[in-house]
Chains A and B, each alone.
Chain A
Amino acid sequence: MEFLNWAFTPEQLFDMESWIGDWFFILALGLFFLELVCYSVRKQISWNLLGDSATNFVTLAAYIGITSTVIAGFYLGVFMYVYEHFSLTHLPMTCWSILACLLLADLAYYWEHRFLHSCGIGWATHTVHHSSPNFNISVAYRFGPLDGLFPLFFYLPLAFLGFHPLMIFLCEMLVQIYQTLLHTEVVKKLPKPIEAVLNTPSHHRVHHATNTEYLDKNYAGILIIWDRMFGTFAEEQETVRYGVYPRLNSLNPVKVFFHGFLKLARQIYSAPNWSYRWRLLANSPKWAWDQEQKLQAADS
């Protein structure tokens, strides 16, 4: 256990993050290729699936473009400023700290993810990720325009607690990497002890479902225990139907990337008053959906 006391320099953490991130992307591409082989064997492959996957990678490029040019510098600056000026302490950069940081980053991920599903402004960006009617590794790379911004508010408390920003980014990336691996239909159910503690492809399929009983469930990153603890867990039982309502039915990457914000903008534009506009941003997308149904019922 002596390795837990090993400490790292910020440069070493940065190198580690870059190395893992780069090589994982190569691995993910390899896994995606294997998924395509499985689809081919089962005769489930189609031009639509391939087009959807290509769209996913285009949204990834757009996301990286926005994040690297607009958000990243601001993001790093805020974290460093809080760490240097407002942190309770400076925790050593050891494996102990990385483990603690990873646990808290996973918890922060749970809340960030729940937030994205619970308010209109969050859903406007996160709906992009859910809008694919398919479920494979490429869907993990289907990002919305502001997916790089919202984590700031949920991971920043870790800098306040004294974790070095580069350690937080490393842990944030490890959670994302784990999440990426969950986007597959190839893996069915894992052994029960694993399904009980860890997030699995089965749990995450439920999260991507449009089935009523699966809505707003399984927000976890690595540990599914957060969902079990906070009452947002659902077991995969009936067959999952993926996507969002109403269906997007488009492979146009521009439309896919911006459709959430376009829809929100239209809703805000046609809202009856400012209170309603505020609720469109702060309330859950289900609230907006219910209001629309009521209006349509009243019109008819």
Chain B
Amino acid sequence: MNLPYSIVTTLFIAFVVWLGAYVQPGNAGVPAGTEPRAPQNTAESTLYSATEIEQRFQLIKLSGITAALPLKDVTILWDRFTRQERLHQHLNTPSPDVYVLYRQFSEDFTQARITIGYKQTELEDSEDRTTYIPAGIYHPLPAPDGDITKAWSQIDFNRKPLAVIEQFRLSPSGELNAPKLFVLYK
């Protein structure tokens, strides 16, 4: 095969492989395993206390807004999120879940890359730019009296969290209810 044909063939192969990656299960059409689920009786689950019920998030795609911020400034991002009229208008359910994803923490865990958004499956028209919730076994932490800060205080930062997820149920009146917190440790 001469050089021009070789280059054209290479481009064709690259396109086919890329297309395969693009339409992989979970990335197009109906995402596979998008619902958090309790794991099977795996060996991993015995590593932790019996009161912890690990949850595995797989390929949950969020549409929302992202910023690298000090954790104490997350309210700024919440303000921006509430002003995302276009995003809220595309909701296909009256009471969706709102996710707050914290990842790429600074060494001292005072800053992180924070995303606030909806699951794409709960939107009629998803944004092109999406954020993936890192898959893995998450450890739920209880939020007594619905106080999410009490859940945060139970995070073991010595175990180097890779990601923290806050999950809220948004009521039709705009209130955030039923807070849940999940941690993915290194």
- Residues of chain A at the chain B interface (Cβ within 8 Å): 2, 4-12, 15, 89-94, 96-97, 100-101, 103-104, 107, 111, 157, 161-163, 229-231
Contacts and interface: CB of A to CB of B under 8 A. Distances in A.
A101 B21 CA distance: 8
B59 A100 contact: no
What 7 A-B pairs have minimum CB-CB distances, sorted nearest first? A7-B135, A100-B21, A96-B24, A9-B134, A230-B6, A231-B1, A161-B18
Given A9-B163, A89-B128, A91-B22, A100 B17 contact: yes
User: What size tier do the contact residues of chain B reach?
Assistant: 20 to 34
27 contacts: A5-B25, A5-B58, A5-B135, A9-B134, A9-B163, A10-B104, A11-B162, A12-B134, A15-B186, A89-B22, A90-B130, A92-B24, A92-B59, A94-B24, A94-B26, A94-B59, A96-B20, A96-B27, A97-B24, A104-B17, A161-B14, A161-B18, A162-B18, A162-B22, A229-B1, A229-B9, A230-B6
B14 A107 contact: yes
B67 interface: no
Given A8-B134, A92-B24, A230 B17 contact: no
B162 A9 contact: yes
Given A8-B135, A90-B129, A229-B1, A104 B18 contact: yes
Contacts of B70: none
B13 interface: yes
B32 interface: yes
B132 A93 contact: yes
Nearest to A228: B1
Contacts of B27: 91-92, 94, 96
Interface in B1-20: 1-2, 6, 9-10, 13-14, 17-18, 20
Interface of B: 1-2, 6, 9-10, 13-14, 17-18, 20-22, 24-27, 32-33, 58-59, 61, 103-104, 128-130, 132, 134-136, 162-163, 184, 186
B21 A97 contact: yes
